[in-house]
Structure 1
Amino acid sequence: MFFGEALAIFKQIGDKASEARTIRYIGSAFYQSGKFAEAEKTLRDGMEVLETLRTKLSDANKISIFETQTATYRLLQQVLIAQNKTNEALEISERGRSRAFVELLTSRLSNTNTSQTSQPAVDKPTIALLQKIAKQQNATLVQYSIITDDFKIDGKQQTKESEIYIWVIKPTGEITFRKSDLKPLWQKENTTLAELVTISRKSIGVTERGGIIPEPVKGVNQTKRLQQLHQLLITPIADLLPTKETERVVFIPQSQLFLVPFSALQDEKGKYLIEKHTILTAPSIQVLDLTHKQRIASKKSGIGKGEILVVGNPTMPKIPITDEQLTSLPGAEREAVKIADLLKTQAITGNKATKTAIVQKMLKARIIHFATHGLVDDFKGFGVPGAIAFAPSGEDNGFLTSGEILDLKLNAELIVLSACDTGRGRITGDGVVGLSRSLITAGIPSIVVSLWSVGDDSTSLLMTEFYKNMQQKQDKATALRQAMLTTMKHKNYQSPYHWAAFTLIGEVE
């Protein structure tokens, strides 16, 4: 009764945000009462209201408002699963992620300005579209959705992660739904999924770039943690993954799962996932479709004729505000020289690698390789975390920020950020907001980024192998996989720390 009255008032005064929130409360009440059909209709109405709120907003504001809206999408998935409508739940899972990103990419591809009031229509992610994308990618797509529920613990109501919903879409279009139970994590181990991901990364050993051999955290069993993540994320769907190691698997994570090194997950026999599969990641299935369209558009505009740009160890700038001097990376310079030699070009290093000079070359480049420092923070207050360090000059402080990258129009087919933490950023309901998102938006369909601070020597080996493999006409995902397998065979680089940090986002060709 109270909710009905409140809803009428919010509609009357035009308070859409409060209207949508009240609709969610009503939908939740129907769901708790087992009235699933009523809950579904109510929540679908609420979702439509939410989506009207995002029109005409800037990208940053869309991301911000989307943070407040994810609960409706999550609850609607639960309602649909309760009715065994697994395909419809997949549509909502896809619709509830990376929407601002999809709208931004769609706008860029149609050459319109995102600040204009008339923006291009964005396709709603229907099952037919998602099946088409899996076929077009010739890959098995694995989509994760983290579900939370309310539980009474010690007499108090608490919201906890309850399950992971997992959908597998095969290139044939066949879709299978599975679940993974998260309750034992906090019931038996008093931990969360986010904490498990963090401790798994620590078990691998995380250190600043500089060639230091990592020391895993004492008392943390690396194999146990990587197997535990495998048990949650891979074991429920292992029978659905391709049997040929050359066939591609694209993981579409959510929330803290963006930080998972999928390549390093281990099965019960201790075998790493990269040994069995060719792996990529993507922020959403629709983003994959849009990077594919980007690649086609780039080819039409003369891709393949551009230069190869390799930068290593620029004269390091100081971080604004803190005035901290970034350390030199001699190993990154050796890496750049070796790769430039392999690609028959000249590496740009030291004080020649200024931000101004490099940005000009980026505009004409076909392949871009940066071996330098990457920063995760939003140190300039642009709201878009991440920056790449170049040599400072009289014109600037040397940092190319994610916000500045968003304004570029790039035609490169591949960029490799051989630096620390370049795949990280601010994790939001819209995915990871940082360097990778900005570079894809700027026009690059394939990006190789790192999930932690990488070591100089092992990275140099891995990257050299990656480009050698590409010269042998291997696609990008296969080339990266083979480079990982080669690196892990080196007696000093067997730990996943040395070879599992890098991930390919986007297109393989």
Structure 2
Amino acid sequence: MADDRCRRLLERGRALVDQARFDMARQAFEEALACARSSGDDYVHSRALAGLGNCAYYTYKFSEAEHWYRQQHALARVGGDDAELGVALGNLGNLAMARRDFSEARRLQAESVRHALAAGDVFGAGQSALSVVWIDVHEGVGDPDSPFLALARKAAHHSEASALFRARVAVATGACLLGVSKPNEAAGEYMAALGHLDGWSHPGVRAGALLGLAESALLLDRADDAINWARQAVAASEDASTRSRSATIRGWAHFLGVRDLARALADIDEAIELSEQLGESGEILRALVFRAQLHNATNEFDQALHDARAARALAVTRRDRVAAQVEIGYALLGSGETAAAERAFQEVANEGSTTGSGDDALFTLTGLAASRLAAGQIDQAAEAAYQGVAAFEQIPAHQRRLDPLRPALSQDRATNIYRLLEHAQCEQQRTTEALMTFNRRAEHSLWRLAHALSPDPTPSPTHPAPTHVPPDVMDRLSSTGSIMVVWSVHQDYLWSRRRATRQVLIWVITPEGRVHFRRIRPRGGTRPWEANVELAAVMAHQATRDSRGRSPSSGSAIARDSYLAHLAALLLDPIADLLADCSNLVLVPDSSLYYIPFTALPWRDGRLVDQFAVTVCPSLSHLTRLPEPSDDLDVLVAGVSHGGHVDLGVNQITLGPLPWAKVEAEAIADFFAVTPLIGAQATREAILGRLSRARVIHLAAHGSADLIARDGLAGVVFLAHPDGFAPLTAGDVLSAAPHAELVVLSGCDTAGGTPTAEGPIGLVRAFLAAGCSQVLASLFPVQDRSTKELMERFHCYRREGDSSSSALRRAINEARAGDVEFARWSSYMLFGNL
């Protein structure tokens, strides 16, 4: 009877801990402990000590927790019980982790796993393995393929596993997925964790899941969602730790989403104050590094230096030291103290952060290259930039990390290492080599996308350092009588788009094989976009969207024309003398220039499309990628015209009917004498089953540039499903591996995608990366009837023998002659090959 009472008290204490009712749980464990001592029940004795330690641990009374855990460990050692030793060591490991002694914590937890497995306690081993996973996450090396995470996930299916434990495993899995740049998959795990918590009141785990959703939204460029989730986390648990993390996330979101620096600083000040109250040096360091970045990004270098040095003083791990020291170097460089900046970056390099791969090497070498370039040490800058490019390309595509201490600026700084190399090469008068460095950057971006979803650690291709444009590119331009124009946009090398454009490098390659180089430095004006080419491109894109359905004299139309005229003056006027005798243009843009409706740029007395057939190409090398000859002559045409509501978890959207999409698909199918997939026939499964066998693909359906797909990339086309719609995503395309000569994505915003420093990554890039030659897609929302007419003309002219670019030019100019609205005829662009 005494044993039954002891165990009932123990179970009551555990249940109260799961409900975060720690005072009542402590009382139950004390009664269980007294009962066990009187009855001689060693199991209850050990677990009651652990329970008392847990009550102290969860309320941040670490000294008291250590007292109870050490008693449990001593009892387990006397008894020689592997299972109890495993529990005791695991608890001590958790305590070491809370004190940020990660190496000791990992040692203890690994020992705990060993003892638990020796005792056949899979669930106990899984609990300790979960702690190892969290240690890896805190050290920035969380791995969704970790054997410890696999053990924890196995334990989550054990009969002893509570819904609370399953929720904790899901939260840890989400954190590992965030670490390898899979925020959408991470969000799915966090949503699963919230599902496990239905009926449970444990605020800490719920808050952890909500904060995970906030971080996922932040990395998906959804600032409003990030703020919403972060606030919900505080509502779930008002402890200081949750409030601190929430404030840090809100700070990032306010800065990156709405550019509200004052609110971002207020948020981060709150995070630091709360973390100081708790004595959580790790959170203080995280917040200080973020505030240093904020100050660096807004030219407040003295404040940045102060915060970065304070963070450096708190750093315990090598990773923390590097994060702080890199910001010190950036602040010194921004202040013009180039020699001190180089010493700061060299100090990081001396710790070994320039060897191997990863963000540490990238940011350190970026800083070294930039400081040496600023000091006029061109050869040394080029050397550091070469090393940085090599470090970046060593990272397997599916393991590209966004450093949690620098979540938003990681991508910009990473790819800027190529731009630094371009700049140094131009200063060395090696301008053609600089062009090939640009090509290397563009090609690597496509390669990374093509292998991003691969479970295998596919190595990056070895890139030589060519000094000349490849002959097959020259031959392709010559045979088609085309001129290629390449633009490389250089914002600030450390903070990218947040400042005025430093320079734009322009190369023009003529059909005769000559390479001309020009460099422009935009002059500032009264408006910010006049000195920032990327900002002007984005604003031109938005103004064109806003001008839909409005008169040419409306404010948005006037603004659109102003932005486009400014862009033409910057990008075309400096090379106008080189474009005189040509009718085919191949344009290779950079970054936000992909958002420009190039055919609509002012040119002489009209528009660019008056003189040129325009193709937008992702790289020089892509020009030579022609589909392999095949006897498989399948033509895939599909039209989805119904409307309805789409529920994709955190994404909700309502789509109106597209009656002309069905008519369009039937008309295009007649051109090729094939049977189209219409309506309910045009399912995702049916389309995917035929993508790899099609030489021409034409999809007329709803599209969205903003919707985040399950693979973490924005941009989808909505296909049919019995419940309404099923999205075709970039991940679907890469998995299907199509190699069509032409893909037409006839719908709204089908050329959009996730914004990156290399341009939007979505369906267009996915089709090109998979092996397709050309993709026709839209930059803006379009109207289904005018689109149907433009598409019929386009395919008609191709059948008459025109190239795709010439056919599009003729179709656009006929639409213009018919007084079709500006945004409708300027929306469609041809991407890829000639």
How far the C-alpha of 1:383 sits from its partner, in A, is: 1.4
User: What are the equivalent positions in structure 2 for 1:105-504 lying under 5 Å apart?
Assistant: 114-117=454-457, 119=459, 121-124=461-464, 126-138=466-478, 139-149=482-492, 159-185=499-525, 192-206=532-546, 213-215=549-551, 218=555, 220-241=558-579, 243-245=581-583, 248-267=584-603, 269-289=604-624, 291-292=625-626, 295=627, 297=628, 299=629, 301-303=630-632, 305-314=633-642, 316=644, 318-321=646-649, 322-393=651-722, 397-490=725-818, 492-493=819-820, 495-504=821-830
Deviations 1:150-182 (A, max 9, x none): 89xxxxxx8421221111122332111112232
- Find the residue that maps to 2:721 and give its secondary structure: coil
TM-score by length of 1: 0.84
TM-score by length of 2: 0.53
- The residue type paired with residue 666 of structure 2 is V
Q: Please, which moves more after superposition, 168-177 or 190-199?
A: 190-199
Counterparts of 1:361 and 1:200, CA distance in 2: 37
Larger Rg: 2
* 8 Å contact from structure 1 (residues 389, 399) kept in 2: yes
Q: Identify the residue that residue 832 of structure 2 maps to in structure 1.
A: 506
Unaligned runs of 5+ in 2: 1-342
* 8 Å contact from structure 2 (residues 665, 676) kept in 1: yes
- Find the residue that maps to 1:184 and give its secondary structure: coil
Q: Identify the residue that residue 89 of structure 1 maps to in structure 2.
A: 434
Q: Please, which moves more after superposition, 442-451 or 461-470?
A: 442-451
Unaligned runs of 5+ in 1: 152-157
Q: Summarize the Cα distance change of 1:317–1:404 in structure 2 as closer, same or farther, 3 Å threshold.
A: farther
Q: Summarize the Cα distance change of 1:62–1:121 in structure 2 as closer, same or farther, 3 Å threshold.
A: farther
* 8 Å contact from structure 1 (residues 375, 388) kept in 2: yes
Q: Summarize the Cα distance change of 1:62–1:431 in structure 2 as closer, same or farther, 3 Å threshold.
A: farther
Counterparts of 2:434 and 2:797, CA distance in 1: 39
How far the C-alpha of 1:461 sits from its partner, in A, is: 1.7
How far the C-alpha of 1:90 sits from its partner, in A, is: 1.4
How far the C-alpha of 1:187 sits from its partner, in A, is: 6.9
How far the C-alpha of 1:200 sits from its partner, in A, is: 2.5
Q: Summarize the Cα distance change of 1:122–1:136 in structure 2 as closer, same or farther, 3 Å threshold.
A: farther
* 8 Å contact from structure 1 (residues 319, 326) kept in 2: no
* 8 Å contact from structure 1 (residues 59, 100) kept in 2: no
From 94, 102, 113, the equivalent of 2:447 is 102
Q: Summarize the Cα distance change of 1:72–1:119 in structure 2 as closer, same or farther, 3 Å threshold.
A: closer
Does residue 28 of the first structure (1) align with residue 370 of the second (2)?
yes
* 8 Å contact from structure 1 (residues 351, 391) kept in 2: yes
* 8 Å contact from structure 2 (residues 718, 725) kept in 1: no
How far the C-alpha of 1:198 sits from its partner, in A, is: 3.4
Q: Summarize the Cα distance change of 1:159–1:411 in structure 2 as closer, same or farther, 3 Å threshold.
A: closer
* 8 Å contact from structure 1 (residues 150, 159) kept in 2: no
Counterparts of 1:354 and 1:374, CA distance in 2: 15
Counterparts of 1:239 and 1:103, CA distance in 2: 37
Q: Summarize the Cα distance change of 1:230–1:13 in structure 2 as closer, same or farther, 3 Å threshold.
A: closer
Counterparts of 2:631 and 2:708, CA distance in 1: 36
* 8 Å contact from structure 1 (residues 132, 173) kept in 2: no
* 8 Å contact from structure 2 (residues 715, 753) kept in 1: yes
Q: Identify the residue that residue 188 of structure 2 maps to in structure 1.
A: none
Counterparts of 2:721 and 2:528, CA distance in 1: 52
* 8 Å contact from structure 1 (residues 309, 361) kept in 2: no
Counterparts of 1:379 and 1:20, CA distance in 2: 28
Q: Summarize the Cα distance change of 1:368–1:277 in structure 2 as closer, same or farther, 3 Å threshold.
A: same
Q: Identify the residue that residue 40 of structure 1 maps to in structure 2.
A: 382
How far the C-alpha of 1:426 sits from its partner, in A, is: 1.1
Root mean square deviation of aligned Cα: 3.2
Q: Identify the residue that residue 154 of structure 1 maps to in structure 2.
A: none
Deviations 1:72-96 (A, max 9, x none): 2222222222333212221222223
* Structure with higher helix content: 2
Counterparts of 1:343 and 1:118, CA distance in 2: 39
Counterparts of 1:144 and 1:83, CA distance in 2: 19
How far the C-alpha of 1:18 sits from its partner, in A, is: 2.6
Q: Summarize the Cα distance change of 1:410–1:31 in structure 2 as closer, same or farther, 3 Å threshold.
A: closer
Counterparts of 1:117 and 1:385, CA distance in 2: 24
- Find the residue that maps to 1:425 and give its secondary structure: coil
How far the C-alpha of 1:66 sits from its partner, in A, is: 5.3
How far the C-alpha of 1:238 sits from its partner, in A, is: 1.5
Counterparts of 2:542 and 2:551, CA distance in 1: 9
Q: Summarize the Cα distance change of 1:75–1:423 in structure 2 as closer, same or farther, 3 Å threshold.
A: same
Q: Identify the residue that residue 72 of structure 1 maps to in structure 2.
A: 417
* 8 Å contact from structure 1 (residues 186, 192) kept in 2: no
Q: Please, which moves more after superposition, 129-138 or 79-88?
A: 129-138
How far the C-alpha of 1:13 sits from its partner, in A, is: 8.5
* Structure with higher strand content: 1
* 8 Å contact from structure 2 (residues 432, 467) kept in 1: yes
Counterparts of 1:45 and 1:174, CA distance in 2: 30
How far the C-alpha of 1:185 sits from its partner, in A, is: 4.7
Count of aligned positions? 478
Q: Summarize the Cα distance change of 1:403–1:470 in structure 2 as closer, same or farther, 3 Å threshold.
A: same
